[in-house]
Structure 1
Amino acid sequence: MQEAQLEINGTEVIAAQGQIGRMLDVDASLAQLSTQLAAFRDGEVPLVIVEHAPDVLNIEEQAIQARRLLSAPFLINLPDAVSGDPGPWQITPEDLAPMLQVRKIQPEGGAASYQLELDRNKLRPLLEQIARQVNRREQNARFIFNDETRLLEAIQPSSTGREVDLATSIESIEQSVARGEPNASLQINIKQPLVSDTANGADLGITENVVTYTSYFRGSSASRMQNIKTAAAQFHGVL
């Protein structure tokens, strides 16, 4: 008997199908022979053969999937990407091959099978590097108060934040690998800003000027004036 085997050597996939084993049942064969001899007649006595099947006999499907995965770069995509977003990211066959593993699955009461998966200890650092490019903080809208209309006016729109969900992204990639698909999408958590650009003064409790401060910087150097302008711009419109 021989179990099916799947080996990945570099980017080469080597598959060996399983073989059914067989064993001569000596005692049962002798019993049949004794019965034939006791009958004092000619005849054939069939040997009693016991077959032993391997847990996994055929691994051709997984071999085809592995060859497909290693025939071109594996792509990781950012869902709903727009112009200026990072990605997609490629894992070359040479980098993917050391990550690719073959695991035997034995469901309770079911037939055993092999499944392709990736080494999570090697996949996670790659996703952490990608996450640093994708993650961004949500930003509230910025407003000014119009003294004439006594309404807030948005001067900078709000933007949503996003964060790569590492655990579910790993699962998504592993599911694609198990199916032999050469691409997968990141799983993203979207974070909404506390204040969107559709907010109004009544919602925020801002219906009039609260306080006014005036400061003078006459005689300051050009560099100091530039620093003051830069700092003031950081707070302009912030709630």
Structure 2
Amino acid sequence: MGVPLGGMTTQEAQQIIQAQILPEIPQIITLTYQDKTFPSTLLEMGVSFDAAEIANHAFSIGRSGSVAVWSGDLVALLSKNKTLPTTIYLDENIAANTLQKIAVEIDQPMIEAQIAFSGNEVHTTPGQIGRTVDIATTLAQIEDAICHENYSVLPLIVSEETPTVLDAEPYAQTIRDFLATDFTLTTPSEADHPSTQYELDSSTLAPMLELMKDNHDGQYTITLQFKASVIENLLNDLAPSLSIQTEEPRFIFNDESGEIELFKNGITGRTLNIADSIINIQQQIAAGSHQAELVFTYQNPSVADGATGTQLGITELVQQQSTYFYGSSSARIQNIQTAANRFLGLLVAPGEVFSMADAMGEISLDSGFTEALIIYNGKTIEGVGGGVCQVSTTLFRTAFFGGFPIIERYPHAYRVSFYEKTAGNYRDSNLAGLDATVYIPLVDLKFQNDTPYWLLMEAYVFPESSQIMWKFYSTADGRTVEWETTGPVNTVEPPEPKYYRNSELDNGEVKQVDWEAQGADVRVDRRVFKNGNLYSQDQFLTHYEPWGAVFEVGPGVDGYPISEE
């Protein structure tokens, strides 16, 4: 774009530039992206020309014979008779603002393809390539093009970001295929634990699934997985039903041979290993499998089924106690037998604190117990497991007279005649204060095996003689017990009997449901010696409330002072 300016004055040159040069300059810059065009005027792009400045520079260059550089243009003028390039102003702020307006029509966010569930149906939304006009680079390109007078059509510089998944349909089909078949969780088949299966149908599976994106050195892979939180919650719900408590083997001591004989095999316990199970499940899904085996952590019994008495230190009878339940109902006797069987052949490890509640387990109609009289909330009522306290009292006395530390023991609210009976159905008040109640899981009886030997317990019930016998087998360590009791003191006479109406009784029937008992205090002192030396001593204080007899009165019975409930 040259015009000879030689021989002119500055003012004449300025007029020529204004009249001839500037009108000839192309006024439109067209920016393009793909099939889109964005024409802009030089003015909109911030381009302007100063005729006076052009003329001044031309004559300055001519007189000095040097080369002038202005706004990025470099032209060599060999003589004043050569042509002169125009000098250009570019306002970058105006240009950037124009490019921002163009970018509004081009820029768009990158969007990953989406998969959504509607019930068991799988729907997809396509992804979108992200685009951003690179204004700085485009502006630099425009400046360079104008300087070289080659700016009529220029491409926009646009950066693109491609989503990992642009089309989710292939992955959606993978999910549809997966949902077409149930997913099965299995437990391993073992000697102590038969295999079980848990089927997850499509309605359960659908909300559990997600696609996981992994980046391996810039290479992305997409795998189908369960949502970690959902599968973890599912396994947490399953875990209690799949866990199996470790159980030591049970033995019976042969009094003739002096050896222990296996009564019941030990059981290897297991707990669900949720973390490892999740890993295995996810691996199986990724491999296209519809079945995964759950992973467990196992705990073997401390004692082998083939252990000998010598190995365990179980070599002799170290304590034996009996209590008597004369006059008990058949329901109460059934509960005594059921409870006693829970303890037959049990082992107590050296140093272990034995909990009767833990060993007893559930007391319910489903576990062999029936309803009989129990003390609850200050009243004698029918309740499941009535009679279990006959068992706990017998265990307490065996541990007490065996010299073992009593860790936890609670007496009954009032004196119960069963626990003061001796052989032949006699009553010995010196046995008051040697009872122990349990109400599982709230009230427990605990003692400690503080010897270096295992302790074997055997409990037997003899209904014909109304007797329950408890035996401890171990190794005698020279301990003996001396004890003293105050017997019942501070006695309080029972209150007057109470009578309650019961319409379910037969006409004219009167039924006694509770028996009177004196209130009293009892203190029992125990001293345990080992090889003649005092080893320990403790005291057991018991307070019994006075208790009145209670009768239920049926229809057609008069003459009794009926109490309100």
Pick the TM interval, shorter chain.
0.7 to 0.9
Shift of 1:126: 1.7
1:69 aligns with 2:178: yes
Q: Take 1:123 and 1:57, find their aligned partners in 2: how far apart are those partners?
A: 25
CA distance in 1 between counterparts of 2:159 and 2:289 reads 37
Q: Which residue of the other structure, out of 320, 326, 331, is the alignment partner of 1:223? A: 331
2:321 matches 1:213? yes
Q: How does 1:119-130 map to 2 (within 5 A)?
A: 119-130=227-238
Native 8 Å contact 1:6 1:13 kept in 2 = no
Shift of 1:162: 1.2
- Between 57-66 and 159-168, report the one with greater CA deviation: 57-66
Map residues 140-155 of structure 1 onto 2, 5 A cutoff.
140-155=248-263
**Distance change >3 Å, CA 113–CA 54, structure 1 → 2:** farther
Q: 1:205: how far off?
A: 0.6
Matches within 5 A, 1:1-239: 5=113, 7-10=115-118, 11-13=120-122, 54=162, 56=164, 62-63=171-172, 65-80=174-189, 85=194, 87-107=196-216, 109-239=217-347
Larger mean Cα displacement after TM superposition, 136-145 or 179-188: 179-188
The 8 Å contact of residues 211 and 225 in structure 2, kept in 1 or not, is answered as yes
Matched letter for residue 219 of structure 2: A
Quote the offset at 1:140 in angstroms: 1.0
Contact between 1:19 and 1:53, CA under 8 Å: does it hold in 2?
Answer: no
For residues 63 and 211 of structure 1, the distance between their equivalents in structure 2, rounded to whole angstroms, comes to 72
Q: Distance in 2 between matches of 1:170 and 1:135?
A: 17
Q: Contact 1:137/1:161 (CA < 8 Å) preserved in 2?
A: yes
Residues 65-121 of structure 1, C-alpha deviations (whole Å, 9 max, x = no match): 4233211111111112679847311111122111111232223x3312222222222
Q: Separation in 2 of the partners of 1:216 and 1:7?
A: 73
Distance 1:143-1:83 versus aligned 2 partners, 3 A rule: closer
Deviations 1:119-154 (A, max 9, x none): 222222221222122111011111111112111011
Give the partner amino acid of 1:187: V
Larger mean Cα displacement after TM superposition, 77-86 or 166-175:
77-86
Deviations 1:28-71 (A, max 9, x none): 9xx9xxxxxxxxxxxxxxx9x99968354686774554233211
Percent identity of the aligned residues? 33
TM-score by length of 2: 0.35
* Greater Rg by CA: 2
Instruction: Supply the distance in 1 between the matched residues of 2:213 and 2:111 (Cα, whole angstroms).
Output: 11
Cα distance, 1:195–1:54 mapped onto 2, change above 3 Å? same
What runs of 5+ residues in structure 2 fail to find an aligned partner?
1-107, 132-137, 145-154, 348-565
* Separation (CA, whole Å) in 2 of partners of 1:100 and 1:52: 30
Number of aligned pairs? 232
- 2:116, 2:278 → 1: CA distance? 21
Deviates more, 1:80-89 or 1:145-154: 80-89
**Alpha-carbon deviation of 1:163?**
0.9
Against the structure 1 CA distance between its residues 194 and 21, is the aligned structure 2 distance closer, same or farther, given a 3 Å change threshold? closer
Residues of 2 paired with 1:115 and 1:199: CA distance? 51
Do the aligned residues in 1 keep the contact of 2:252 with 2:260 (CA within 8 Å)?
A: yes
Equivalent in the alignment of 1:43: none
Q: Would the alpha carbon gap of residues 17 and 194 (structure 1) be closer, same or farther in structure 2, given more than 3 Å must change?
A: same
Aligned residues of 1:8 and 1:97 also touching (Cα < 8 A): no
Distance 2:309 2:285 in 1: 51
Judging by fraction of residues, say which structure has more strand. Answer: 2
CA 1:133–1:119 in structure 2 vs 1: closer, same or farther (change >3 Å)? same
The alignment yields a C-alpha RMSD, in angstroms, of: 3.8
CA–CA separation in structure 2 for the residues paired with 1:236 and 1:96? 47
Greater shift, 11-20 or 124-133, is seen at: 11-20
> Does the CA-based 8 Å contact 1:158-1:193 persist in structure 2?
yes
Structure 1 gap segments, 5+ residues each: 32-46
Measured after TM superposition, the shift of residue 223 of structure 1 is 2.9
